[in-house]
Amino acid sequence: MLRNVSLFAQLGDETLAGVSAQLHRKTFRKGTIIFHKDQAGDALYIVESGRVRIFLPTQGGEELTVDVAGPGDVFGELALLDGRPRSASAGTLEDTVTFTISRDEFQKYLERAPQLAAALVELLSNRLRHVTEYAESLAFLDVHARLARTLLEMSARYGVHKDGIEIDFDLTQAELATMVGATRERVNRALAAFRAQGLIELRGRKIALLDTDRLRQRVY
């Protein structure tokens, strides 16, 4: 499993064996909060199976989803570096299996393996780039463009080819609204418009992209 996780993929067999000996397996049912924003953070999570939503709760009770972690992804890495409280909340979109490694153990391997430090810098750089692009979309794109961008991103990461590109996990309109940063009603109207234009197809709680080129044009 660790060989398929970019953060650990470049480590030698001996180091990987040492890391794997420190992992603790955890299972979560769908809809479970793994940790809350501002909670003490002392572990990195690695997703073996399932999907985890990383989100920011607002004072008004709403939520803004900033990322979705799937198999092979990691989350909670900031707590490994500064030991400060969690910067976001995490909850499962599906039944999920994760492995965790504690901050103390991770720090030991970080000191021994320069490849791990380089991979962590790359991971954090990608996180920063993603958050910057997400902030730009919230600031400058309308709801239809933000929805198109979200669907394209999810299909690139989790899409399977089934008469189009089907996003391979159940996604309610409420959950999608938190990713787009809009109300469920506005997202519902945008989905209906995309459907009428032949850009997407709704298959139960799954969404299939039928024309990615035209969706990309809707973003820009």
Pull the structure tokens for residue 72: 């092979």
SS3 sequence of 129-198 = HHHHHHHHHHHHCCHHHHHHHHHHHHHHHHEEECCCEEECCCCCHHHHHHHHCCCHHHHHHHHHHHHHCC
Q: What is the pTM of this model?
A: 0.90
Using one digit for the tens of pLDDT, what is the confidence trace for 181-216? 999 999 999 999 999 999 999 998 899 999 999 999
Which CATH topology does 142-219 take?
Answer: Arc Repressor Mutant, subunit A (1.10.10)
Q: Give the residue range(s) of CATH 1.10.10.10 domains in the chain.
A: 142-219
Using one digit for the tens of pLDDT, what is the confidence trace for 146-160? 999 999 999 999 999
Q: Give the residue range(s) of CATH 2.60.120.10 domains in the chain.
A: 2-138
DSSP 17-76: HHHHHT-EEEEE-TT-EEE-TTS---EEEEEEES-EEEEEE-TTS-EEEEEEE-TT-EE-
Do the bridges between strand 96-102 and strand 24-28 make them parallel or antiparallel, or are there none, so unpaired?
A: antiparallel
Residue 83 has pLDDT above 90, yes or no: no
CATH 2.60.120.10 fits 2-138, yes or no: yes
Give the whole-angstrom CA distance, residue 119 versus residue 184. Answer: 37
